Amino acid sequence: MDKIINILKTNTDYVSGEYIGTELNITRSAVWKNIRKLKENGYDIISVTNKGYKLDLENSFNKDMILENLPTKIMGKNTVFFNETDSTNTQLKLIATKDGINVKEGTLVIANTMTMGRGRLGRTWTANKCEGIWLSLLLKPNIPPENASVITLLAGIAVAQGIENSTGIHTNIKWPNDVLVRGKKICGILTEMDCEMERVNFIILGIGINVKTTEFDNELEKIATSIALEKGATTNRTKILHSILLEFERLYRIFIEKNNGFLPFVSQYEKLCVNIGNKINVLGNETFEAVGLGITPDGGLIVKRSDNQQEQIIVSGEVSIRSIS
Ligand code: BTN
């Protein structure tokens, strides 16, 4: 199959099945079968009758492409790729549970399509075919479970910065876990943890980024966007992924080495966070209106309540934040 990809890579126009067959000394039907396998492996190959096959590298996304020139040392070095799966978080959890302590930190599970993508608070996450980056990363930080929510905040910075570096699109963060462009959601983060009372066994960091989607369903249209809709310099998912993984690895290393919670990242997060200085609705056990003031050294959101002017710290969890200005 590598040989077919090489032929397609060296030809920018259509290549006939007959030509490929002759070059590789295989039948046209063997060519067709291999092309079908390549498509299943995430290569976007356009087939046109009487013309042949053409590779669209910009739209292709697969394990080989991810591992080629991967700029990280840990994140994604061990990659499991699915053309289609239920949920990358679910699959990574299966791997981590099966491999136990031997599972490698930085293991990446990534898919072209998810049939049962999961969002926060039990919601579903739409992950249409080849339209986004749907990934899950395995982390094994030596931290107590109560500090684990910082990982979501680090991921927010990494996605915001990674998208900006690779596409030039300016992004913001809605505390604690949405990345926005012009107020619309471009990325959601679902962090799940396996832990004991005092230690984390592993964390699954799930990140979903809308890349190529140009049409959203009715209710999503007003609140969601994608790289394609925002006209970034590239919608090449491999480039965007590399940029995000590199940024996340850098931040994660500082987090582990400094052992100082979220403190080293507070000022960068505050600059990116749309909730600071703006009115929000805090939706949880109690619902109230407030203004975001800042971020605490352990990643909480400091707000001033509109009803009694008292300051309060919101810790991430079952709380939802709605921007109202
Ligand atoms: C949210 O905003 O509700 C969080 C969405 C998280 C979606 C990602 S996509 C990759 C990973 N696998 C999943 O099933 N969900 C997360």
For residues 109-135, give the mean pLDDT. 93
Q: How far is the CA of 88 from the centre of ligand 1 (A)?
A: 8
Residue 231 CA to ligand 1 centre (angstroms): 23
Per mean pLDDT, which of 40-44, 110-114, 319-323 is the most reliable?
110-114
Partner residues linked to 215 by β-bridges: none
Q: How far apart are the first and last CA of the chain?
A: 54
Take residue 203 and report the two structure tokens written for it: 């964390």
**Cα 124 vs. chain centroid, distance in angstroms?**
16
Tokens representing 86 are 């239920």
Q: Residues 80, 41: contact at Cβ < 8 Å?
A: no
Confirm or reject: Cβ of 190 under 6 Å from ligand 1.
Answer: yes
CA of 135 to the centre of ligand 1 (A): 8
Q: What is the maximal distance between C-alpha atoms in the chain?
A: 80
253-280 per-position pLDDT tens digit: 999 999 999 999 999 999 999 999 999 9
The CA 125 to ligand 1 mean position distance, Å, reads 6
Q: Write down the residue that tokens 């832990």 correspond to.
A: 195
CB distance 117 to ligand 1 below 6 Å: yes
pLDDT at 173 over 80: yes
In 3D space, the residue among 37, 220, 238, 203 whose CA is nearest the CA of residue 130 turns out to be: 238
Mode of pairing for the β-strands spanning 287-295 and 279-283 = antiparallel
Q: Pick the residue with more confidence: 100 or 251?
A: 251
CA of 129 to the centre of ligand 1 (A): 15
Residue of minimum CA distance from atom 2 in ligand 1 = 188
Q: Measured from the CB, is residue 304 less than 6 Å from ligand 1?
A: no
Rounded CA-CA distance 301/121 in Å is: 19
287: which strand partners? 283
Give the closest residue (by CA) to ligand 1 atom 7: 208
Pick from 190, 192, 241, 185: nearest CA to 210: 185
The whole-number pLDDT of residue 224 equals 95
For 215-239, the pLDDT digits (tens) are 998 888 899 999 999 999 999 999 9
CA of 187 to the centre of ligand 1 (A): 9
Residue 43 pLDDT > 60: yes
Nearest by Cα to 88 from 71, 69, 107: 107
CA of 116 to the centre of ligand 1 (A): 10
- For 33, 136, 313, the CA distances from 189, given in Å and listed in that order, are 37, 10, 21
**pLDDT grade for 324, boundaries at 50, 70 and 90:** low
CA distance 164 to 185: 15
Taking 70 as the threshold, does the pLDDT of residue 152 lie above it?
A: yes
Residue 319, pLDDT score: 62
189 lines ligand 1 (CB under 6 A): yes
> Residue 105 Cα, ligand 1 centroid: separation in angstroms?
19
| Among protein residues, the one whose CA lies closest to atom 15 of ligand 1 | 118
From ligand 1's centre to the CA of 90, what distance in Å?
A: 10
Q: Provide the mean pLDDT of the chain.
A: 94
Return d(Cα 255, Cα 271) in angstroms, integer.
19
The reply to whether ligand 1 has any atom less than 6 angstroms from the CB of 118 is: yes
Residue whose CB lies within 8 A of the most ligand 1 atoms, among 61, 85, 134, for a mutation test: 134
Is there an atom of ligand 1 within 6 Å of 123 CB? yes
For the CA of 89, the closest atom of ligand 1 is 12
Supply the pLDDT for residue 128.
Answer: 83
The residue whose CA is least distant from atom 16 of ligand 1 is 206
Q: Decide the pairing of beta strands 279-283 and 200-210.
A: unpaired
Does an H or E element contain 149, and which? helix 149-167
CB distance 87 to ligand 1 below 6 Å: yes
Res. 115 pLDDT band, cuts 50 70 90: very high
